[in-house]
């Protein structure tokens, strides 16, 4: 396996006398080529999970476009990759193959899978945890290491409890990644975000079923580009120091702090999922250290990118986070531009979600304040995509100050698009 990942650290390493919090942005980039030996496609597995509940028949374009989208995704699967298609109702059943295992992709199996999907009819209810459990079982029938699922639903998880869904998600953590899509506006953003966050995937809305095929094909194409599975950020800190938080901050905000697994003395691993060529992601690391004297320097953290191997693990790249104590106020008060930018982006995601929740609860004052703050943050950071989504929910009086008015009428799809895409960030300009 190639080890030429780059790990770059941006920070202001100077702390004021008595300072104890060290912040850094860690940028990890995979190489343009030569990421790994040629992929053994038998090491990859894909499962497409389609909501086939009764609500998918209204309008009928939903199930028609779901079939077309599944066919488009199947067409992208490379020869040799193990795959399956699952129908989800109040239970889960295989559509193809029917033996509760996985088929190996080739012209014949792709044709048969699309033929089977074409005959799917909507019926029954929705129990997403059952769908995930079947995918888990089917994935484990193959020795693949790169496992990825696409999950589509149009409704809420009405036929099982939140606890049952949570148990299913926990079962699947670390086994496969999952990209979630909601079609229409009758599904719950929180439910799908709960799945995608735990399973290191994405979540988005497809308001018009006609957009499903292109989206499914793009997700599958991205999955086919993954080459290294089970990659973690390993953070070592010295004695009397601890990680306060570790968040992915680009291309989207995802708090990894609670995902830490102890990997040795003073070290912990945080999952990042699978990587393909030419990928770049940013992480915000905050370490609390024991203050030292003015002029003293210490290694606050060593950040390593680590890939699981049959014999253990391999370090793919490494970066260092430092701390230097100073009585020079000009040095200690300078905020690194990358740290400032991503602190704002993380706040932007939070205030959008809090503002939308307040709006849903009828608390217009809080909603106006939170969404106004979001408008200001989007303006400051140049996050034009989020700014456009916000403008569909509020009337912007002055973007710089965050002065807004709540719109009286907001399309459900616009509100859900803002919610699902609230965590998407723009990269800082170095």
| Series of mean pLDDT values for 10-residue runs along the chain (430 residues) | 80 97 97 58 89 95 97 97 98 98 98 98 97 98 95 96 98 97 97 97 96 97 92 96 98 97 95 94 98 97 92 91 97 95 97 98 98 97 96 98 97 97 86
pLDDT, residue 430, reads 52
Q: Which of 299, 333, 367 corresponds to the end of one domain?
A: 333
Give the domain CATH number at 127: 3.40.50.410
From the list 353, 337, 370, 365, the residue with the least C-alpha distance to 415 is: 353
pLDDT, residue 41, reads 56
Rounded distance between C-alpha atoms, residue 41 and residue 103, angstroms:
12
Q: How far is CA 112 from CA 82, 105, 211, 374, in A?
A: 14, 10, 24, 48
425 lies in some domain: no
105 lies in some domain: yes
110 in helix, strand or coil? helix
Q: Are 295 and 400 in the same domain?
A: no
Asked if 45 and 142 count as a contact pair (C-beta separation under 8 A), the reply is yes
**Kind and range of the H or E element at 239?**
none
Helix then strand then coil, % of the chain, to nearest 5: 35, 35, 30
Instruction: Report how many domains make up the chain.
Output: 3
427 lies in some domain: no
Q: Which of 285, 303, 333 corresponds to the end of one domain?
A: 333
In sequence order, what are the residues at sequence separation of 6 or more whose Cβ sits closer than 8 angstroms to the Cβ of residue 214? 72
Q: Which of 178, 194, 224 corresponds to the end of one domain?
A: 224
Q: Are 148 and 259 in the same domain?
A: no
Q: Are 104 and 252 in the same domain?
A: no
Q: Are 280 and 368 in the same domain?
A: no
Q: Are 266 and 402 in the same domain?
A: no
Q: Are 164 and 49 in the same domain?
A: yes
Tokens of 112: 């048969």
Q: Is the pTM of this model over 0.85?
A: yes
207 lies in some domain: yes
Question: Which of 18-36 are b and which e, b meaning 16 or more Cβ less than 10 Å from the residue's Cβ?
Answer: ebbebbbbbbbbbbeeebb
193 lies in some domain: yes
Q: Are 133 and 180 in the same domain?
A: yes
55 in helix, strand or coil? helix
Give the phi and the psi of residue 74 in degrees, each rounded to 5.
-60, -40
Q: Are 373 and 243 in the same domain?
A: no
413 lies in some domain: yes
Give the domain CATH number at 258: 2.60.40.3670
Asked if 1 and 30 count as a contact pair (C-beta separation under 8 A), the reply is no
pLDDT, residue 34, reads 58
Q: Are 153 and 286 in the same domain?
A: no
426 lies in some domain: no
From the list 228, 233, 237, the residue with the least C-alpha distance to 246 is: 233
Output the 3-class SS for 264-287.
Answer: ECCEEEEEEEEEECCCEEEEEEEE
Give the domain CATH number at 380: 1.20.120.1690
The whole domain housing 72 covers: 41-224
Asked if 169 and 199 count as a contact pair (C-beta separation under 8 A), the reply is yes
144 in helix, strand or coil? coil
pLDDT, residue 152, reads 98
pLDDT, residue 39, reads 44
Q: Are 122 and 249 in the same domain?
A: no
pLDDT, residue 37, reads 42
1 lies in some domain: no
Q: Are 125 and 208 in the same domain?
A: yes
From the list 77, 216, 76, the residue with the least C-alpha distance to 150 is: 216
Q: Are 106 and 215 in the same domain?
A: yes
DSSP symbol at 117? H
């Amino acid at each position: 396996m190639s080890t030429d990942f780059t790990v770059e650290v941006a920070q202001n390493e100077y702390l004021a006398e008595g300072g104890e919090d060290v912040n850094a942005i860690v940028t990890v980039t995979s190489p343009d080529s030569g990421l790994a030996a040629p992929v053994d496609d038998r090491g990859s597995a894909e499962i497409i999970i389609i909501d086939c509940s009764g609500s998918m028949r209204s309008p009928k374009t939903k199930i028609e476009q779901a079939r077309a989208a599944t066919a488009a995704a199947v067409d992208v699967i490379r020869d040799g990759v193990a795959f399956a298609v699952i129908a989800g109702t109040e239970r889960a059943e295989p559509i193809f193959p029917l033996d509760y295992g996985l088929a190996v992709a080739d012209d014949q199996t792709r044709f048969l899978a699309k033929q089977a999907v074409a005959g799917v009819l909507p019926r029954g209810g929705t129990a997403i945890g059952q769908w995930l459990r079947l995918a888990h079982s089917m994935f484990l029938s193959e020795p693949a290491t790169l496992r990825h699922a696409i999950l589509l639903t149009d409704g809420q998880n009405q036929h099982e409890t939140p606890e049952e869904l949570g148990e299913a998600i926990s079962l699947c953590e670390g086994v496969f990644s999952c990209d979630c899509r909601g079609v229409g506006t009758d599904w719950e953003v929180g439910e799908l975000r709960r799945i995608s966050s735990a399973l290191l995937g994405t979540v988005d809305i497809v308001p018009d079923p006609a957009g499903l095929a292109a989206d499914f094909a793009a997700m599958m194409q991205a999955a086919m580009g993954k080459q290294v599975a089970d990659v973690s950020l390993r953070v070592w800190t010295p004695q009397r120091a601890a990680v306060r938080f570790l968040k992915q901050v680009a291309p989207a905000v995802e708090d990894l702090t609670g995902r830490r697994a102890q990997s040795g003395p003073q070290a912990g691993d945080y999952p990042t999922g699978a990587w393909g060529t030419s990928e770049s992601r940013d992480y915000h690391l905050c370490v609390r250290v024991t203050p030292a004297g003015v002029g003293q320097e210490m290694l606050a953290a060593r950040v390593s990118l680590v890939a699981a191997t049959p014999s253990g693990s391999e370090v793919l790249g490494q970066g260092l986070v430092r701390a230097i104590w100073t009585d020079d106020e000009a040095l200690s008060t300078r905020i690194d531009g990358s740290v400032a930018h991503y602190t704002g982006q993380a706040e932007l995601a939070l205030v959008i979600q809090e503002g939308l929740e307040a709006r849903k609860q009828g608390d217009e004052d809080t909603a106006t304040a939170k969404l106004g703050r979001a408008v200001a943050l989007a303006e400051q950071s140049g996050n034009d995509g989020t700014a456009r989504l916000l403008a569909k929910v509020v009337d912007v009086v002055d973007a710089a100050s965050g002065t807004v008015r709540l719109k009286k009428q907001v399309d459900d799809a616009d509100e859900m698009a803002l919610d699902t895409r609230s965590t998407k960030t723009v990269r800082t300009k170095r």
